[in-house]
Chains A and B, each alone.
Chain A
């Protein structure tokens, strides 16, 4: 798509709302949105993979296995994300020489790496807690039935427990995805040019506070509800066998039915 935004902006009204400025700023804003989505998807992918392992450790009986995971989850859910970002991005500077010796300093000097690192640990902590609850919710009769069929260990988890747990976890996880997507706006504080970062820079150049911030807000709003809509479709599909076949298509719910209170 090769649109000439400058030409589009011409002839648009500049009062009371400067529409021209909105159209002119769109290409940069969309670039910012791209970085926002990239950070979200990267952190979600790594964080989710890590959280499966962490959740499995968390449900063990051996305190040497579950206690460290418990501490990790407690720390990352109990402190503000901004503090975590500062701790990694600025805090690593205190160990500069140690990190240099290990060859890790080039990583921790980079705001992009620090952002992904912190967001990943953060979402991993929340997702671990979601998965733990979901694994607990798997009916024991199904586990027993699988055992009776001769399944055990990894096969039991892969075929019975985890698929069921993922389905239980889906509503809570869709909230986590929305919260992480919005939380990526904090990376603008450590100089990254995500959607919020671009908006802040544009505002400091043009002083069109409302036009720029509200455009950014609308972009966030659109993606948020796109994410929720996507998850609703997945939910409908995964629970299709539980629905009454006569009752198709699935009952429509309000636009906000999926979004719940943020979880600690």
Chain B
């Protein structure tokens, strides 16, 4: 199929989903940390979180990917040379891609979680404390499961944008869906065919994700009365 490029394209699709999945996990962790910092009483934590979201959302993703991918080895090398060591560092494009995309979307996840934490009635955490739960247990058993429900629509939206952003990692030579389509397009001289196939696969990811999200939201809202 596709002049023998079908399996490479599929492998690229798998890589796209893997990069997207790992970046999403990182984004959720960064988002929870960011929301916690933004809602904390410490002015330093709030300032750091605001700086993080302001910078990340004001600079194009492509530029951030280039800074991380080309900048990190340079930084490590110049740091090492200032201590008198001469080393060469190469950055793995997978790690560079996942960390950059994860950190960028972590800034958006911060706002999603912040809204979700604010949407949760304070009485919930207070009641959990009143029945004798420790702060961590109350957070784990009472706050987080409910915050999750409020955050789900925002996180779903974030995932749909994030998975499209992974296409940018093809610029740093990670062989994901777009990179394989590009290689196939150059070899077969049928660029339109292969980029169109890639576009359709991204659409497929979007469609399947939307269906999965509907089910996840229904599941998260089970036991909640409507109306």
Contacts and interface: CB of A to CB of B under 8 A. Distances in A.
Contacts of B167: 80, 82-83
B195 A91 contact: yes
A189 B171 contact: yes
Contact of B165 (A80, A185, A189, A255): A80
Contacts of A259: 57
B117 to A, nearest CB: 16
A204 to B, nearest CB: 10
A143 B55 CA distance: 43
Given A209-B70, A217-B63, A91 B192 contact: yes
B139 to A, nearest CB: 24
Contacts of A84: 199
B125 interface: no
Contacts of B166: 80
Interface stretch (A23-31, A92-100, A158-166): A92-100
A201 interface: no
B5 interface: no
A216 B70 CA distance: 15
Contacts of B75: 210
Contacts of B61: 182, 185
A199 interface: yes
B26 to A, nearest CB: 17
Interface string B48-73: 00100111011111111011001100
Contacts of A262: 108, 161
Interface string A180-223: 00110110110000001001100100010110011011001100
Interface in A32-86: 74-75, 78-84, 86
A260 interface: yes
A221 B71 contact: no
Interface stretch (B6-14, B130-138, B152-160, B216-224): B152-160
Contacts of B195: 83, 86-87, 90-91
Contacts of B55: 217, 221
A86 B191 contact: yes
Contacts of A183: 60
Interface in B123-181: 154, 157-158, 160-161, 164-168, 170-171, 178, 181
A12 B171 CA distance: 34
A225 interface: yes
Contacts of A256: 50, 53-54, 57
A91 B191 contact: yes
A209 B66 CA distance: 9
B54 A92 contact: no
Given A209-B71, A210-B75, A220-B63, A78 B108 contact: no
A213 B63 contact: yes
B167 to A, nearest CB: 4
A226 to B, nearest CB: 10
Contact of B157 (A182, A255, A261): A261
B74 interface: yes
A263 interface: yes
B157 A90 contact: no
Contacts of A254: 50
Contacts of B111: 260-261
A1 interface: no
B96 interface: no
Contacts of A199: 63, 66
A254 B191 CA distance: 46
Looking at A84, A200, A217, which has the most chain B CB atoms within 10 Å of its CB?
A: A217
A261 B74 CA distance: 32
A207 B70 CA distance: 10
A148 interface: no
Contacts of A186: 62, 168
Interface of B: 50, 53-55, 57-64, 66-67, 70-71, 74-75, 108, 111-112, 154, 157-158, 160-161, 164-168, 170-171, 178, 181-182, 185, 189-193, 195-196, 198-199, 202-203, 206-207
18 contacts: A78-B203, A83-B178, A86-B178, A86-B181, A86-B182, A94-B191, A182-B60, A189-B171, A196-B63, A210-B74, A210-B75, A216-B63, A221-B54, A224-B59, A225-B58, A260-B111, A261-B157, A261-B158
Given A86-B182, A196-B62, A264-B157, 4 more contacts: A78-B203, A196-B66, A213-B67, A261-B112
